[in-house]
Amino acid sequence: MQDATQAGHIQYQVADGIATIEFYHPGHNSLPGRLLSELTEALDQAGKDELVKVVILRSAGDRTFCAGASFDELAAIDNPTRGKAFFLGFANVINAIRRCPKFVLGRVQGKAIGGGVGLACAVDYCVATRFSAVKLSELAIGIGPFVVGPAVARKIGQAAFQQLTINATALKPAEWAREKGMYAEVFEDAAAMDEHLNELAQKLANSNPEAMQNLKEVFWQSAHDWDELLAERAATSGQLVLSDFSRKAIARFKGK
């Protein structure tokens, strides 16, 4: 039987100048290290592919976009080096989105939790359905959204980031996330969302690649130090996850 931490997939497809990257994991689209690594590779591939003009990042399934980190892998961390390596997985995906010279469009069809919020905030433009509530749950297990924090604060502002961080067990509705700038639009259902997203992606695929690349550099010009910053944040999370508080909290979450 395949281990739960190794299940799931990353799919990469290109058509009409649009690269679609899809991730899936049976545990509510949580992301173990292998999938994070493959997701980083797919984003880097899209950035280098001359046939690609714009990227869509999405997940499979209906009501959960991404549940964040894999609790199986969190529970298995037994030293700071291994802890930092795990949290670098999310850091690497965020930095891959940042350095990709093409616009990355996010499609959020359901709940975004923890690292899922980080992904939704890191993309350059994100749309969602009304089912796409958000929650930064890290403090509830004794750590904090250190790695995704810069991406979240950059997109929704420091005050909203603090609200999500401190009230770590509360889901904020999709409309709240739209008001804060995380989502550009919130749609009644996935069909309406996809119609809008596909139309936008097709327009961008026919736009000037050089102009879009220059705009991307402008959008991200304040994040030039994120390779180092997110690595430092990953080390902080990797240390905290070893605390007695975190070990017990993770065990409780896994037992639910």
Radius of gyration, CA atoms only, the chain: 17
Q: Buried b / exposed e across 59-77, counting CB within 10 Å, b at 16+? A: bbeeebbbbbbbbbbbbeb
Q: Give just the sign of the alpha carbon dihedral 131, 149, 20, 18.
A: positive
Domain boundaries, given as residue ranges, for the chain: 4-190+223-255
Tens digits of pLDDT across the chain (256 residues): 345 456 899 999 999 999 999 999 999 999 999 999 999 999 999 999 999 999 999 999 998 999 999 989 999 999 999 999 999 999 999 999 999 999 999 999 999 999 999 999 999 999 999 999 999 999 999 999 999 999 999 999 999 999 999 999 999 999 999 999 999 999 999 999 999 999 999 999 999 999 999 999 999 999 999 999 999 999 999 999 999 999 999 988 777 6
Measure the CA–CA gap between 201 and 91, rounded to whole angstroms: 26
Give residue for tokens 């979240």. 152
In this structure, which topology does domain 4-190+223-255 adopt according to CATH? Answer: 2-enoyl-CoA Hydratase; Chain A, domain 1 (3.90.226)
The reported pTM is: 0.95
| Count of CB atoms situated within 10 Å of the CB of 2 | 8
Confidence at residue 7, expressed as pLDDT on a 0 to 100 scale: 87
Report H helices in the chain. Answer: 33-48, 71-76, 80-99, 115-122, 149-156, 158-166, 174-180, 190-205, 209-219, 226-240, 244-255
